[in-house]
Structures are given as structure tokens and as C-alpha cells.
């Protein structure tokens, strides 16, 4: 394992802390993943890319990371309530909406989009619906510990009672008394709860609820917060190292996770809480109701009123990485177009590195030596990708000078430049031009048109040497040229 000075900003302490894994070289990381009842948008991409960077850099440092990112598929889809349970039961199962069919569809799409953005798959992607038994066990433990109560088949977490033993609100910096003051107005509609700050651990299903499972309390479904506690405990034990998610999940979701974990296991869930900041669109909050909600598919196709063009998945990734994950990130077409150019500048280092002719076996230049130190320092400083990218632009300048013979690279310089490109551009930042592979066939067709036109010109000038040369050379790269009445056509063998 590489020695490192990695520091992570821990939301819990609001400090940048040295990263000390509990069981090095093993690292356990849990991140709140998508709810799969809709298409992923820029906010999903930012969270996925942020924790992909943590995953990649920790692995690059030599840690053996078990990365769990859950899929929330327990949706609160409802039947038409008028039909009632009896009528529904009489209908063929096939004629009913099956929530898992919807969940599977959006899960597949989420994977496909994230794959295109270079986001690595986590070690395990557990489904909430696949861990009902584990959630029931969790609720039982919390009840046994005396921090929950049952009302009419539903179970609620007793926040004031918990708060007497553990500080509730420590992650988000909220104080229970204030919470009570601000949420009292909702009390009337939640008359099963003893207290408005309490939250559901298990809910009895109303007749219109489709997803439902048997439990000791009722046929129903788990509360929103239980899945992450049950699944992180199952796959990572407690405490584990890093818990991540979007800043909007800090309260109430992550606060509830801490409470559930302390109540059930007498332990905090994790050492480091990491939260990525939000995306704004032209300075405004993004939201369906605001009409400025752009899905990844719309970004990739350019089909949205707010977009002036389509953006490559890798451009979106690079755009996200150009801001530190703890800063807000504002979308605009200008910002994305600038990201597109910046990404090309970095990726063009690869062919430029191929062109560099190293001369002499001099030693490593101090500038490149320093650059390597700076790249690690940037990532060690709470995964500071914008600073890393600035260093990589400096690298690009040096490489371009050497490729254009305006500067001299020794063998050691060239090896170091190649290693920095591979380690940081490809491995840690996960940037590549492979996402635009699909375009290759299209470009190939354009280039073949040109080549066959040149060949036709040569033939018309009776320059058969050239026309035969083109045909023979194409054969060596697997392309057969067929001459016909209406000109030549070609096919890949």
C-alpha cells in the first residue's frame, strides 16, 4: 500500500481529518444510491461520480475497498384505492402494475448511463426490497432496546427517548427542541406518532399499497431510513469507515441512520460522513416543479429546451470533477462547453505522448518530479479534483512542448509523464475517450468515402498503381473493396 496523507472532511466533526481505516488495508464504504422510479439526472451523476472518485483513489492507494451502494426500490406506488383490496385480489397478477418491473427498468437505465460516464460498479448493490427480513430484524432490536413503539401495526422510532441517551441531530447540527417547534403543525395528520419528530420504522400497508410484506406487526413495508442501516450492517459490520451521500440526505435520512444504529447496536454506523454538494441550474435549485430538471439522457442527446447542444457522458463527468465535491456546481451551457474543451485538452495528451521522442537518459526533471508530488497532494487534500486537474493541464503543456520538439524529455521524463497520465487521468479521474467509441463507425464511413473518392480519381487518371495500392492496403486492415457499375463499395471482413 502507498503511504499517504489522505485527509477527508468529516461532516460529523466539520473538520478535515486524517483518514485512518479501522481495519487497514480494508476499507468499508457505504453510499446512498438511487431511487429507481425515474430517470437519472445531473444530481444522480454528481453523487455517483463523487464516490466513484473516492473508490478509485482509495484503490489506487492500495486499499482493498468493499463499496456498497444500495438501490431503493421500495416505492410507495399505489393502486387505485377505489378498487379496494378484494377486487384487486381477483384480478390476474399479470394485469397489475408490478413495481419491480418499473424498478428493474430504471435500474438498468441507471447502470447504462453510469457505465457510459465511467462510473465503476460498486462491490455490492443491495436492493431495499431484497432485505426486508434484515430490516424487520433491525426494527425488532430497536423495539427490544426500548427506543421504538408500536401503534396499530406500525412501529415508530421514539426520538425524544433516544435523545435522552444520545444526542439526536449531531450530524446536521439540529437541536431536538427546535425540531419540535418547527414541525408541530404537522402533528394533526400524524396522530399515530407520540411526537412529531418520531419517524416510521415499519408502516402498516393501506389497502392501496402494492408493495407489502408480512411482519410481526402487520402486513406492510419498512420505513424510509431502515434499509441503509440494515444493509450497511449486514455487509460492512459496524462501525465501518465511510458513509457517503448527497447533502440533501443529511437530514432526516442520515440522522435517522445514526439514531437507528446507536439504538440497535449501541454504535455509531461509521467513522467518516462524506456529503457531496448540490447542482444548481443557471444559479437556481434544480427541481421537477421548477421546469429546469434535465435528465442524463437529455444531456447525452441534447434534446431539452435548456440545452444548446448534446454533451458526451465524459464531458459531464469532467464538468463534475472540475468543482470540488463539497462546492455547489452550477450548470450552464457555457460551463459545459468549456468542460468539453478542457477534457479534449487533457485527452489529447495521450496521442501527444506517443509522438514524444525522448532524447538521452538524463535524470527526471525537477518540474515533473514536483508535479507528481502535487497530484498526490491534491487528491490527499479531501479529493481535490479541480486542483488535480489544474496540475494535469500543466502536464499537458509540458507534453505538448516535448511532442512539438520545443522542449526535451529524457527517457525518465517520458516514463513519468506517461505514468502520471495513466494514474491520474485514466485510473483516478476515470477519464477516457472510449465513451465516444460509438462514433468511430460513423467517422470510419466518412473517411472511407474520402478514400474511395481519391481512388476513383486515380483510376480516372489511369493511375492504377495508386488505385490498386489503396485496395491492397485496405485488405490488410480487413476491408474489402468491391468495384461495381456505380462505383466502388466496401465491407468489413
**223-252 binders of a second copy (CB under 8 A):** 235-237, 240
Strands (E), 315-418: 329-331
Binding-site size for a second copy (CB under 8 A) equals 75
User: Of 116-124, 196-204, 261-269, 364-372, which segment contacts a second copy by CB under 8 A?
Assistant: 116-124
Q: Which of residues 351-410 bind a second copy (CB under 8 A)?
A: 351, 355, 404-405
Q: Give the burial class of 44: count Cβ atoms within 10 A of its Cβ; 0-12 exposed, 13-18 middle, 19 or more buried.
A: buried
Grid coordinates representing 51 are 464516490
The answer to the question of residue 86 lying near a second copy (CB under 8 A) is no
Here the contacts of 450-456 (C-beta below 8 Å, separation 24 or greater) are 452/481, 452/487, 452/488, 452/490, 455/481, 455/488, 456/487, 456/488
- Minimum Å distance from CB 285 to a second copy? 34
Angle between helices 313-321 and 333-347 (to 10 degrees): 100
Of these, 133, 187, 367, 373, which contacts a second copy (CB under 8 A)?
133
Q: Is 310 in the site for a second copy (CB under 8 A)?
A: no
32: phi then psi, degrees, rounded to nearest 5: -70, 120
Interaction residues for a second copy, span 426-455 (CB under 8 A): 433, 436-441, 443-444, 446-451, 453-454
- Nearer to a second copy (CB atom), residue 248 or residue 445: 445
**Nearest-10 crossing angle of helices 132-144, 255-265:** 70
Max Cα distance, the chain (Å): 96
Does 77 contact a second copy by CB under 8 A?
Answer: no
Q: How far is CA 92 from CA 89, 205, 226, in A?
A: 8, 21, 32
CB 7 within 8 A of CB 16: yes
Shortest distance in whole angstroms from residue 191 CB to a second copy = 30
> Please, what is the minimum distance in Å from the beta carbon of residue 19 to a second copy?
15
Pick from 90, 288, 462, 491: which binds a second copy (CB under 8 A)?
A: 491
Does the footprint of a second copy cover residue 101 (CB under 8 A)?
yes
The piece of 8-16, 86-94, 288-296, 325-333 that touches a second copy (CB under 8 A) is: 86-94
- β-pairing, 240-246 vs 220-222, is unpaired
Quick check: 478 binds a second copy (CB under 8 A)?
Answer: yes
Residues 373, 133: Cα–Cα separation, whole Å: 49
Q: Is 430 left (phi over 0), alpha (psi -120 to 50) or beta?
A: left
Stretch that binds a second copy, among 18-26, 148-156, 191-199, 305-313 (CB under 8 A): 18-26
Q: How far is the CB of 460 from a second copy (least distance, A)?
A: 12
Applying CB under 8 A, which of residues 13, 104, 301, 333 lies at the interface with a second copy?
Answer: 104
Q: Segment near a second copy (CB under 8 A), from 52-60, 301-309, 408-416, 485-493?
A: 485-493
Amino acid at each position: 500500500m502507498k503511504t499517504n496523507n489522505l485527509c477527508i472532511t468529516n461532516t460529523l466533526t466539520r473538520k478535515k481529518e486524517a483518514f485512518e481505516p479501522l481495519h487497514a488495508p480494508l476499507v468499508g464504504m457505504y453510499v446512498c444510491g438511487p431511487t429507481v422510479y425515474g430517470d437519472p439526472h445531473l444530481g444522480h451523476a454528481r453523487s455517483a461520480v463523487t464516490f466513484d472518485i473516492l473508490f478509485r483513489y482509495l484503490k489506487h492507494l492500495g486499499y482493498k475497498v468493499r463499496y456498497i451502494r444500495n438501490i431503493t426500490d421500495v416505492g410507495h406506488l399505489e393502486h387505485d384505492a377505489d378498487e379496494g383490496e378484494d377486487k384487486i385480489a381477483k384480478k390476474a397478477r399479470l394485469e397489475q402494475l408490478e413495481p419491480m418491473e418499473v424498478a428493474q427498468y430504471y435500474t438498468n437505465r441507471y447502470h447504462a448511463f453510469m457505465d457510459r460516464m465511467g462510473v465503476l460498479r460498486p462491490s455490492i448493490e443491495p436492493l431495499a426490497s431484497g432485505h426486508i427480513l434484515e430490516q424487520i430484524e433491525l426494527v425488532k432490536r430497536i423495539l427490544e432496546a426500548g427506543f421504538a413503539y408500536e401503534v396499530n401495526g406500525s412501529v415508530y422510532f421514539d426520538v425524544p427517548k433516544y435523545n435522552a441517551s444520545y444526542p439526536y441531530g449531531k450530524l446536521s447540527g439540529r437541536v431536538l427542541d427546535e425540531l419540535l417547534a418547527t414541525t408541530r403543525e404537522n402533528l394533526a395528520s400524524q396522530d399515530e406518532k407520540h411526537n412529531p419528530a418520531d419517524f416510521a420504522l415499519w408502516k402498516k400497508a393501506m389497502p392501496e399499497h402494492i408493495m407489502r410484506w408480512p411482519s410481526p406487526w402487520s402486513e406492510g413495508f419498512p420505513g424510509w431510513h431502515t434499509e441503509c442501516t440494515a444493509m450497511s450492517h449486514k455487509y460492512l459490520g459496524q462501525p465501518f469507515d465511510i458513509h457517503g451521500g448527497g447533502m440533501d440526505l443529511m437530514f432526516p435520512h442520515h440522522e435517522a441512520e445514526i439514531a437507528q444504529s446507536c439504538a440497535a447496536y449501541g454504535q455509531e454506523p461509521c467513522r467518516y460522513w462524506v456529503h457531496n454538494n448540490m447542482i444548481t441550474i443557471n444559479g437556481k435549485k434544480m427541481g421537477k416543479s421548477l421546469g429546469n430538471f434535465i435528465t442524463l439522457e437529455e444531456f447525452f442527446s441534447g434534446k431539452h429546451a435548456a440545452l444548446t447542444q448534446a454533451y458526451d457522458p465524459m464531458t459531464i463527468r469532467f464538468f463534475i470533477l472540475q468543482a470540488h465535491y463539497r462546492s455547489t456546481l452550477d450548470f450552464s451551457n457555457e460551463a459545459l462547453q468549456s468542460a468539453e474543451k478542457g477534457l479534449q485538452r487533457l485527452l489529447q495528451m495521450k496521442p501527444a505522448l506517443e509522438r514524444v521522442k525522448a532524447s538521452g537518459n538524463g535524470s527526471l526533471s525537477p518540474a515533473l518530479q514536483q508535479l507528481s508530488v502535487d497530484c498526490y497532494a491534491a487528491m490527499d487534500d479531501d479529493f481535490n479534483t479541480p486542483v488535480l486537474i489544474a496540475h494535469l493541464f500543466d502536464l499537458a503543456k509540458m507534453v505538448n512542448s516535448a511532442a512539438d520538439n520545443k522542449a526535451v524529455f529524457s527517457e525518465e521524463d517520458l516514463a513519468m509523464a506517461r505514468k502520471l497520465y495513466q494514474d491520474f487521468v485514466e485510473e483516478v479521474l476515470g477519464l477516457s475517450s472510449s465513451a465516444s467509441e460509438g462514433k468511430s463507425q460513423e467517422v470510419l464511413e466518412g473517411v472511407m468515402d474520402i478514400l474511395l473518392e481519391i481512388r476513383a480519381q486515380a483510376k480516372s487518371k489511369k493511375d492504377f498503381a495508386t488505385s490498386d495500392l489503396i485496395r491492397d492496403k485496405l485488405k490488410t486492415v480487413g476491408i474489402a473493396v468491391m468495384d461495381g457499375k456505380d462505383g466502388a463499395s466496401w465491407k468489413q471482413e
